[in-house]
């Protein structure tokens, strides 16, 4: 690829697509006419940057956007030799009456394309492995798919089934209705509890209302609930190391509300009132290993003899993804973490990278990666939280490959083979390939 000769097409077109208004910007990912096809693989990066600049942007193939190959700017583009050159096509929409090739490209488009040029260049991409979907998230999504296929619609989800905007949007488009609380669910309807778990009071409420409950609580969260019940039954005061307001913590606290105290930091522990009661602690499954250790140390100093879980409550998926980030961050100039802002395990990956001295960006998808952050960056680490789909990572890598030659390396710290069974009474959909067949959880 000749990095000093990027291929850029700008101009004015009159698209036929009814959703496009004059002044909108069209970012073309692929154009073809006859034998000629041009693919601009960093279209999603450019489209995201244009949206952040305040423009209304449509992205897709020429056909998607309702632009014909007869448009003068396209006809001229198709005649050029574009092989192996980074390309960008950003067209400004006008009406047929006002489309005029002498109309200047908006300044905002020029500025974005300048940033795109500055981001071009060869780089190394380090893929942290394991990353992306864990067994608990795969199971929760499969449970919702089964519920949508087997039960009358609408099928309700109490809270986000997993903390990821793309997953939620996709399931909503297939008929799932997301609610915050059960009083929004009509009596007798089907409701799915999220992977983060619920307090017993929520289960009782559902029973009272005659709801058909399907429980997608991750078995590793259920294990922590069981620990709380066991400690509380024998009279312990239970300290839950977790984050206030997180759904998992709320559910765990609800197992023994009179006996469980949430502590988030070592300072919280120092401020606890004295207590002679026997003490025990449990943890939220998605904590950072370092932060949890600090709080456990503080609890052990404050309450000598305090008992903890036989095996760590921080789950295998959280631990593996944090270890993989630690391995990648050492060699990366920048780490891209794919995940939503409310995803606890994704936030911990950002923190882990920062602790290693490597700047990390939390992004929902490639559209949120600022071009300026890629300029001059030669080694990019990429990971994804346990609730982010592998396809989002693939899209990031594809866009980076369109900016210049990329040497992609996998840095793997563990192989994940864990699978969780479905709740009793719920069997797989016949058409669905198993996770083992798709290899999704193996990423």
Per the structure block, which two tokens stand in for 167? 């997953």
Q: Residue 363 carries which DSSP code?
A: E
Give min distance, CB of 282 to ligand SF4, in A: 13
Which helix (H) or strand (E) segment is 350 a member of?
helix 344-355
Residues 11/101, Cβ–Cβ less than 8 Å: yes
- Binding ligand SF4 (rule: CB under 6 A), the pick from 57, 144, 195, 324 is 195
Q: Give the nearer residue to ligand SF4 in terms of CB position, either 46 or 315.
A: 315
Q: Which residue among 185, 296, 317, 374 contacts ligand SF4 (CB under 6 A)?
A: 317
Q: Does 344 bind ligand SF4 (CB under 6 A)?
A: no
> Distance between CA 305 and CA 312 in Å, rounded?
17
Q: What residues between 374 and 433 interact with ligand SF4 by CB under 6 A?
A: 386
Residue closer to ligand SF4 by CB (options 135, 256) is 135
C-alpha 48/C-alpha 365 separation (Å) is: 9
Phi first, then psi: what are they for 140, rounded to 5°?
-65, -40
Q: How far is the CB of 306 from ligand SF4 (least distance, A)?
A: 23
Residue 285 is a binding residue for ligand SF4 (CB under 6 A): yes
Question: Where is 224: in which H helix or E strand?
Answer: helix 219-233
Closest separation in Å from C-beta 161 to ligand SF4: 10
Tell me the C-alpha to C-alpha distance, in Å, between residue 273 and each of 244, 293, 307.
19, 21, 18
- Starting at the earlier edge strand, list the strands of the sheet with 237-241: 260-263, 237-241, 279-283
- Residue whose CB is less far from ligand SF4, 45 or 141: 141
Positive or negative torsion for Cα 352, 128, 122, 45: negative
In the block, which residue shows the tokens 């930091």? 265
Of 20 and 192, which has the nearer Cβ to ligand SF4?
Answer: 192
Beta bridge partners of 190: 155, 212
Q: What share of the chain is helix, strand, coil (3-state, %, to 5)?
A: 35, 20, 45
**Least distance to ligand SF4 from the beta carbon of 351, Å?**
16
Axis crossing angle, helix 135-150 with helix 165-173, rounded to the nearest 10:
10
What distance in Å separates the CA atoms of residue 427 and residue 219, rounded to the nearest whole number? 17
Q: Quote the CA–CA distance of 406 and 125 in Å, as a whole number.
A: 7
Name the residue number minimizing CB distance to ligand SF4: 136
Nearer to ligand SF4, 42 or 285 (CB): 285
For residue 26, the SS3 value is strand
Nearer residue to ligand SF4 within complex by CB, 17 or 222 = 222
State the nearest-atom distance from the C-beta of 417 to ligand SF4, in Å.
Answer: 13
Main-chain phi, psi angles of 70, to 5 degrees: -80, -15
Within 199-238, the residues that bind ligand SF4 by CB under 6 A are 218, 220-221
Q: Site residues for ligand SF4, window 59-118 (CB under 6 A)?
A: none
Q: Which stretch binds ligand SF4 (CB under 6 A): 128-136, 253-261, 274-282, 359-367?
A: 128-136
Q: Which is nearer to ligand SF4, 44 or 345 (CB)?
A: 345
By CB under 6 A, the count of residues binding ligand SF4 is 15
Q: How far apart are CA 275 and CA 214, in angstroms?
A: 39
Residue 164 Cβ vs ligand SF4, minimum distance, rounded to whole Å: 11
Q: Is 207 a residue of the active site?
A: no
Contact 84, 402 (CB under 8 A): no
Write out the binding residues for ligand SF4, residues 129-168 only, by CB under 6 A: 134-137
Only segment of 35-43, 234-242, 314-322, 422-430 that touches ligand SF4 (CB under 6 A): 314-322
Residue whose CB is less far from ligand SF4, 328 or 349 = 349
Does the protein bind ligand SF4 through residue 345 (CB under 6 A)? yes
Q: Which of 248, 255, 291, 395 is catalytic?
A: 248
Give residues in contact with ligand SF4 (CB under 6 A). Answer: 134-137, 195, 218, 220-221, 285-286, 315, 317-318, 345, 386
User: Where in the sequence numbering do the catalytic residues fall?
Assistant: 248
């Amino acid at each position: 690829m000749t990095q000093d000769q990027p291929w850029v097409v700008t101009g004015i077109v009159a698209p036929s697509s009814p959703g496009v208004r004059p002044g909108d910007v069209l970012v073309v990912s692929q154009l073809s006419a006859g034998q000629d096809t041009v693919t601009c693989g960093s279209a999603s990066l450019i489209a995201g940057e244009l949206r952040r600049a305040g423009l209304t942007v449509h992205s897709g193939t020429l056909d998607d956007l309702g632009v014909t190959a007869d448009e003068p700017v396209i006809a001229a583009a198709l005649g050029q030799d574009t092989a192996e050159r980074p390309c960008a096509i950003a067209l400004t929409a006008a009406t047929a009456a006002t489309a005029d090739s002498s109309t200047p490209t908006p300044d905002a488009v020029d500025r974005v394309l300048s940033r795109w040029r500055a981001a071009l260049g060869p780089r190394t991409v380090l893929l942290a492995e394991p990353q992306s979907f864990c067994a608990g998230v795969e199971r929760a999504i499969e449970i919702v798919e089964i519920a949508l296929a087997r039960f009358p619609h609408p099928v309700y989800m109490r809270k986000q089934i997993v903390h990821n905007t793309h997953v939620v949007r996709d399931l909503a488009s297939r008929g799932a209705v997301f609610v915050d609380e059960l009083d929004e669910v009509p009596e007798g309807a089907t409701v799915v509890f999220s992977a983060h778990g619920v307090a017993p009071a929520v289960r009782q409420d559902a029973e009272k209302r005659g709801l058909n409950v399907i429980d997608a609580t991750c078995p590793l969260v259920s294990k922590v609930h069981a620990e709380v019940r066991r400690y509380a039954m024998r009279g312990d005061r239970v300290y839950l190391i977790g984050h206030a307001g997180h759904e998992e913590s709320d559910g765990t606290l609800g197992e023994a509300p009179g006996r469980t105290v949430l502590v988030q930091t070592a300072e919280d522990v120092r401020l606890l009132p004295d207590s002679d009661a026997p003490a025990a602690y449990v943890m939220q499954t998605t904590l950072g290993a370092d932060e949890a250790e600090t709080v456990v140390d503080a609890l052990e100093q404050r309450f000598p003899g305090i008992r903890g879980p036989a095996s760590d409550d921080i789950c295998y998926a959280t631990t593996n993804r944090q270890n993989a980030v630690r391995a990648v961050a050492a060699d990366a100039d920048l780490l891209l973490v794919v995940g939503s802002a409310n995803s606890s395990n994704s936030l911990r990956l950002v923190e882990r990278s920062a602790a290693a001295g490597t700047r990390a960006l939390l992004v929902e998808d490639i559209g949120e990666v600022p071009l300026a952050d890629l300029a001059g960056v030669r080694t990019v680490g990429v990971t994804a939280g346990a609730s982010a789909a592998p396809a989002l990572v693939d899209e990031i890598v594809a866009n980076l490959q369109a900016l210049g030659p990329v040497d992609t390396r996998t840095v793997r710290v563990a192989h994940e083979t864990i699978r969780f069974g479905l709740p009793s009474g719920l069997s797989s959909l016949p058409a669905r390939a198993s996770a083992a067949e798709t290899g999704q959880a193996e990423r």
